[in-house]
A and B are shown apart, each in its own frame.
Chain A
């Protein structure tokens, strides 16, 4: 093979670290750019005619229905732990009546959206990334393009629609089940008054708190489906991912890590902006 140019050739040894940093910066910018364009195309694909209802329903079943069990048990255990720990803390100040308020606000504003997004990322996001990655390396996405079929409208956008619908719904389910878990632990096990549990909750939870939770879950849903499908789509262009099956496994791990970190960072940002 002929070599057009050699990176770092002719660069004094002292400056080589700067050249490496520069190369990395350029790669990160290119990666961000292609992920941005990917997001744009995926969103445009959501509104293109004809609407792929059958595929959206299939993805709703996979992302939404398939995650119900894992969300249920996560929510129940989180709610029960919150109920127990909340009771333990509030009991010190004789404020057990505030337990309903503490459990519901924590779940609705924070734990519900976050834990739902993390669980969906682990269960469905990783699978979406691996599926698209395998389709890419086995030339199935190239085949779609060669048949003049838009891969975004056919493959990616239905996943976006399904995630944007199912993640907020799963979050709502998480909140309800979590509050029930808190009720079980606080009221049924520790003997907190049932009336004060629910009245405290009713008085402290406002529409603003619920809206904050919904906005968070919507943003987290978008983040996880974007990062997971995007990493799979660009599996062959990701630096250091290798080739073939190895690249899919590495990129799937990367997608889960990036999605989880993004969810946590955006959780802080959204809380800071909207609270």
Chain B
């Protein structure tokens, strides 16, 4: 296991995976998605989790949130073992998270305003005027002003993601989890979403964990990159560090990624 980026002290590591194994039942037995995985997420930094489809990237997010339990090992969030927490403590811990789901997970029967106001209504116990002010302020910051009364079905994919981000930011989270935030978006919208991450991360200062397929773009944002392959992880401090890995899979991963970037650049120069 490579831990090149693991120089922070334990207090600076807001999330830690310690020998985590997770498997799922399959047709001919159990498929191990994570096999004794160890890595940590430094506080206030952006960690990108990359890897092919079905390698367990989203499983990592669900383990962090306590939506799944590991078969063995520990997932520690702020020093607490998530799997051992009682439901009330787990709920309390979750108030520290903001999550942007792959499909934004907006409530279909609620308007944009009601979706964004939901965490405040349920958790913050604010006066309705203050609540409305805060929601409208966030919507304005994310360029959603004028769309308050629309339903999710009336929004484009990019707008849904922005509404999801607005909702996730309502309780001023310490940790933001992004599950493939740019899947299904065009390149312009992808850039816009990434710019929003950078802006909001600078403003709020949250720790970010981003699961993404969108490797070339996401490398620019990352303070740490975790690559998943066949149940194992490799941790790198930057994209440059990846090229020094001697593992064939990582080399192939790096070459493919860089070829894609160079190909894109050549195409752009040709145009």
Contact = CB atoms under 8 A, between A and B. Distances in A.
Q: What is the predominant secondary structure among interface residues of chain B facing chain A?
A: mixed
Size class of A's contact patch?
20 to 34
B105 A4 contact: no
Contacts of B249: none
Interface in B181-213: none
A253 B67 CA distance: 27
A142 B67 contact: yes
Interface in B138-174: 167, 171
A128 to B, nearest CB: 13
Interface in B24-65: 26, 28-33, 35, 54, 62, 65
A3 interface: yes
A72 interface: no
Interface stretch (B117-125, B214-222, B240-248): B117-125
A150 B31 contact: no
Given A1-B31, A3-B29, A3-B31, A145 B65 contact: yes
A145 B65 CA distance: 9
A234 interface: no
Interface stretch (B3-11, B95-103, B261-269): B95-103
B28 A6 contact: yes
Contacts of A149: 118-119, 122-123
Nearest to A139: B105
B105 A2 contact: no
Interface in B89-121: 91-92, 94-95, 97, 99, 101-103, 105-108, 118-119
Contact of A147 (B67, B106, B108, B118): B118
B119 A147 contact: yes
A43 B243 CA distance: 56
A147 B107 CA distance: 13
Given A1-B33, A5-B30, A138-B103, 10 more contacts: A1-B231, A3-B26, A4-B29, A139-B101, A140-B106, A142-B101, A145-B94, A146-B99, A147-B94, A149-B123
Interface of B: 23, 26, 28-33, 35, 54, 62, 65, 67, 91-92, 94-95, 97, 99, 101-103, 105-108, 118-119, 122-123, 167, 171, 230-231
25 contacts: A1-B26, A1-B31, A1-B32, A1-B231, A2-B31, A2-B230, A2-B231, A4-B23, A4-B32, A9-B29, A135-B107, A138-B103, A138-B105, A139-B105, A140-B105, A140-B108, A142-B99, A143-B101, A145-B94, A146-B97, A146-B99, A147-B123, A148-B122, A149-B122, A149-B123
